[in-house]
Structure 1
Amino acid sequence: MSGLRTFEPFDLPGMYDVCLRTGDSGRDATGLYTDPHLLGHVYAGPYPVADPGLTIVHVDELGLGGYVVGTADTLAFEEWLEAAWWPALRAQYPRSLAADPRDGTQDWERVAHLHDVRVTPDELYERYPAHLHVDLLPRCQGAGVGRRLIAELVARLEERGVPGLHLGVGSGNPGARAFYERVGFTSVRDADWGSTMVMDLR
Structure 2
Amino acid sequence: MPGYVWAAPYLTCAPAFAFVLVGGGRVLGYTLAAPDTAAFAERLEQAWWPRVRRDVAGLVPTRPGDAAILEHIARPDPWPAWLLADYPAHMHINILADAQSAGWGRRMIAAGLAALTAAGIAGVHLWLDPRNERAKGFYRHLGFEDVSRDGHVIFATRLDV
TM-score by length of 2: 0.91
SS of equivalent to 1:46: helix
Change (3 A) 1:112 1:62: same
Report the Cα distance in structure 1 between the residues aligned to 2:149 and 2:68, rounded to whole angstroms: 22
Matched, 1:197 2:148: no
Matched, 1:154 2:113: yes
Report the Cα distance in structure 2 between the residues aligned to 1:126 and 1:105, rounded to whole angstroms: 34
Superposition map of 1:178-197 within 5 A: 178-192=137-151, 194-197=152-155
Report the Cα distance in structure 1 between the residues aligned to 2:77 and 2:137, rounded to whole angstroms: 30
If asked which structure has higher relative contact order (CA below 8 Å, sep 6+), I would say: 2
Any idea what the Cα deviations from partners look like across 1:37-69, whole Å, max 9, x if unmatched? Answer: x11111111001112110001111141101100
Alignment match, 2:14: 51
Any idea what the Cα deviations from partners look like across 1:50-109, whole Å, max 9, x if unmatched? Answer: 121100011111411011000100000000110011001111222x546xx6x7633222
Superposition map of 1:113-132 within 5 A: 113-117=72-76, 119-120=78-79, 122-132=81-91
Q: Which structure 2 residue ranges, 5 or more long, are not aligned?
A: none
Alignment match, 1:164: 123
Change (3 A) 1:201 1:108: same
Report the Cα distance in structure 2 between the residues aligned to 1:131 and 1:45, rounded to whole angstroms: 15
Change (3 A) 1:119 1:189: closer
Matched, 1:76 2:34: no
Corresponding residue pairs, total: 160
Which range moves more in the overlay, 57-66 or 70-79?
57-66
Alignment match, 1:141: 100
Q: Which structure 1 residue ranges, 5 or more long, are not aligned?
A: 1-37
Runs of 4+ in structure 1 over 3 Å off: 118-121
RMSD: 1.8
TM-score by length of 1: 0.73
